[in-house]
Structure 1
Amino acid sequence: MSITLVTGAAGFIGYHVARRLLERGEAVIGLDNLNDYYDPSLKAARLKDLSDNSNNAFSFIEADFGDAERLERALDGREFGAVVHLGAQAGVRYSIENPRAYAHSNLVGHLNMLEVARHRGLRHMVYASSSSVYGGNDTLPFRVEDRVDHPLSLYAATKKADELMSETYANLYRLPQTGLRFFTVYGPWGRPDMAMWLFTDAILAGRPIEVFGEGDMRRDFTYIDDIVTGVVAALDNAPLDDGSPKAGGSVAPHRLYNIGNSRSEDLGRMIGLIEHACGRKAERVLLPMQPGDVRDTFADVSAIHRDLGYEPTTVIDDGIPRFVEWFRRYHRI
């Protein structure tokens, strides 16, 4: 039986990836430090769902991959052939307030996971990057070949640094890796710090919503099922070490892909769909852009479509009502 280590397994994307791997008959070792960046009870509920629906194929380790010694002890005696490294300190705005958390998890933690993959000779390491690396780029859609030298937040800078470290390990140790630049992921079991959750929670409670950028923003909203399909396709197809250029320009066994919905949607339209699903209008408080935010995102997914057949299928007209329905059910509203 194939065994995959999934870091951040109690997180939003990690939970869904672990669930998909379990559903297709694989075993998963989940690793997460269960920090309190947001309500740990949501993380516990995700883990319970994985355990309840795994037929004993899911095991969990509570450990901080930013602590090399603790990580080594936690993985001692555990066998796995690949790693999907999704654990990280997330959030653009939080990185302004707590920069050291990002250095610990996203820089030191990524290096520690590279060392695990190198010393174990794993067949493939798939890891999470972010659309935030595109920073102040004003040419849309964002292409993996674009320069990404002007991050607007420390979070974005750490994700770019992760890509560079991975390129180095691919060159030095021929470690096969795939980095995935996610674009505004949403859906059931999502994160409470994301706009879609915050808006839904406020609208259902009758509170005003804070709309940054005066509402003049666009995002490439990507439904979680499409994201997971892309992650699993990447996992199943490690880059070949044949010296030919990979997506992103590398000649090492390291490639980079955008995973998005390949549609840039107006923020106001997203809010309108939430209002419709909630059955009530929102009181909108328009605020200026937040430091570190970008005005627009839009993913060119041609590289991952060409190489892995990735094709997003869920538009926000379908995905947002599914999220709101789950939100009501989870909170018993």
Structure 2
Amino acid sequence: MLTFHNVCLAPSSFQLTGIPGLESLHTWLSIPFSSMYLVAVVGNVTTLAVVRVEHSLHQPMYFFLCMLAIIDLVLSTSTMPKLLGIFWFGAGDTGLDDCLAQMFLIHCFATVESGIFLAMAFDRYVAICNPLHHTTVLTHTMVGCLGMAALCRGVLYIGPLPLMIRLWLPLYKTRVISHSYCEHTAVVTLACGGSRISNVYGLSIGFLVLILDAVAITASYVMIFRTVIGLATPEARLKTLGTCGSHICAILIFYVPIAVSSLIHRFGHQVPPPIHTLLANFYVLIPPILNPIVYAVRTKQIRERLLQILKTETKIK
């Protein structure tokens, strides 16, 4: 009687499959994905350009918005070009170090983005609850420090993930990753034993960031709403809440897809693999697409400056 044993490999590279189960549709899927990526790049680059040239937007909230734009460009660019390469050319092969670098960028900058949303909530809290101290508390130096703190937190939290894989997980059941990018869980599940610590650490950090930041943001808005309720007129209340509208929309756009994707990926074992992968791609694409649109639609200064630039370009032509 023959007995077959699993053979563990020490691969120098991995093979990404794209959207598993939908390989025959890759060419067609490339159309919406490339379109969404183009919209994300144009939207975020436009946001950076408008804030740079419009001096009235040189305020804390818009500096944070620029940080979001840079983060969203990193998130989308770290995944989409490779995905489109798989769709168009079947170029799924990726070196081990390249895979770990992509993993670090995705998870690190998702963590940084959460930190920036927390900093924006603090900005809204000070602006509404302590308006007389807003300019003295949220100075340019403070804004820079908050952005740097969010970046350092992302590096410190996520840095150990690729290091654990590089040092402790040399052997894998297969070199084929059924995903479109090197997501942490998708890589770790292929390891031959010893992945428990890395898995638990990744899960813990994900929920720590998601829950703690969400609780802190919620607490800031509870205090904001208490202040707004105490305002004298309904018009004043609506106007004050209007300054928070873009931030609230951006928070929901970011947290809802990432929470749904994480929960389904870890606990939704009955969900078909293509759904897992599509959701994982949406959470790195949807915020970069919608954040510039939300702020352009809801922010009068950005909208007016953008229209002014478009009119100027039209006259030149």
Same fold (TM over 0.5): no
| RCO higher in structure (CA 8 A, sep ≥6) | 2
Structure having the larger proportion of residues in helix? 2
Q: Scaled by the length of structure 2, what TM-score is found?
A: 0.29
Q: Scaled by the length of structure 1, what TM-score is found?
A: 0.28
Structure having the larger proportion of residues in strand? 1
Q: Please identify the structure whose Cα radius of gyration is greater.
A: 2
